[in-house]
């Protein structure tokens, strides 16, 4: 089975070969990993990659294609035994189904508010609860600066400004439940200084 995903500007094709007893060989580019599935429930996975333990919470984009092109993944792993767990958040776009049929042009637009998107409206990437708002209306921010913290799927995600500018509007407050795609914060682009006369 082979599936292609886009993560940022990179496209990854994952080819899985079942080995029996809940284990697979996962081929990603020129690398091969041994993956063992320990447990699976609705949106939750526990597995090892080359013996290293991981936990993942996943969600699919609602509506549209029944296969759900966009996936939201919170991955919890321990880089070394005894080390504090590290949490990483990903938004993936599925480009091909298991039979290799293309689902979407690889030139996928970045989500609103993502760095480099040129848009200043930050939307909730998945349903969750606002834990903290770290900016106020009128405040100047830089691209990549944290705006708020959202808790979703038992994990916290720090949402950042996609552009530099001024916070024009904050639509939410701490403790508020939000839906995927709901507007959270709007940043107006920084105005250009006047050029020479």
Cα(110)–Cα(88) distance, integer angstroms: 19
Q: Which domain holds residue 135?
A: 121-189
| End residue of a domain, out of 77, 94, 111 | 94
Query: The tokens 């959270």 sit on which residue?
Result: 184
Question: Domains in the chain: how many in total?
Answer: 2
Domain co-membership, 87 together with 6: yes
- Domain-located, residue 195: no
- Domain-located, residue 41: yes
42 pLDDT higher than 80: no
- Domain-located, residue 104: no
- Domain-located, residue 108: no
Query: The tokens 């959202």 sit on which residue?
Result: 150
Question: Which residues lie closer than 8 Å to 63 by C-beta, 6 or more apart?
Answer: none
The domain that holds 147 is classified in CATH as 2.40.50.100
Characterise 19 by phi-psi region: left (phi > 0), alpha (psi -120 to 50), beta (else).
alpha
Domain co-membership, 87 together with 140: no
Domain co-membership, 77 together with 125: no
Give the pLDDT band (50/70/90) at residue 52. Answer: confident
87 pLDDT higher than 50: yes
Domain co-membership, 17 together with 84: yes
Tokens of 69: 């092109």
Question: Do 12 and 2 form a contact (C-beta atoms < 8 A)?
Answer: no
Among the listed residues 57, 55, 70, 51, the one whose alpha carbon sits nearest the alpha carbon of residue 7? 70
68 pLDDT higher than 70: no
Query: The tokens 């504090």 sit on which residue?
Result: 84
pTM above 0.85, yes or no: no
Domain co-membership, 80 together with 143: no
pLDDT at 79: 58
pLDDT at 196: 52
Domain co-membership, 75 together with 151: no
pLDDT (tens digit, 9 = 90+) per residue, 107-135? 333 333 443 344 588 888 777 889 999 99
Question: Do 46 and 76 form a contact (C-beta atoms < 8 A)?
Answer: no
């Amino acid at each position: 089975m082979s599936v292609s995903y886009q993560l940022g500007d990179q496209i990854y094709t994952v080819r899985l070969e079942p080995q029996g007893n809940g284990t697979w060989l996962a081929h990603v580019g020129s690398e091969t990993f041994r993956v063992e599935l320990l447990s699976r429930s609705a949106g939750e996975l526990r597995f090892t990659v080359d013996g290293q333990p991981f936990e993942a919470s996943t969600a699919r984009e609602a509506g549209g294609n029944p296969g759900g092109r966009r996936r939201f993944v919170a991955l919890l792993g321990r880089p070394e035994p005894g080390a504090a767990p590290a949490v990483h958040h990903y938004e993936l776009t599925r480009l091909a189904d298991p039979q290799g049929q293309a689902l979407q042009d690889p030139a996928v637009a970045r989500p609103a508010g993502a760095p480099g998107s040129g848009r200043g409206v930050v939307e909730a990437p998945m349903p969750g609860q606002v834990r903290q708002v770290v900016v106020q209306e009128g405040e100047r921010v830089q691209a990549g600066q944290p705006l708020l913290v959202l808790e979703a799927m038992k994990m916290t995600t720090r949402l950042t400004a996609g552009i530099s500018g001024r916070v024009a509007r904050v639509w939410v407050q701490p403790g508020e439940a939000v839906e995927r795609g709901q507007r959270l914060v709007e940043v107006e682009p920084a105005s250009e200084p006047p050029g020479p006369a």
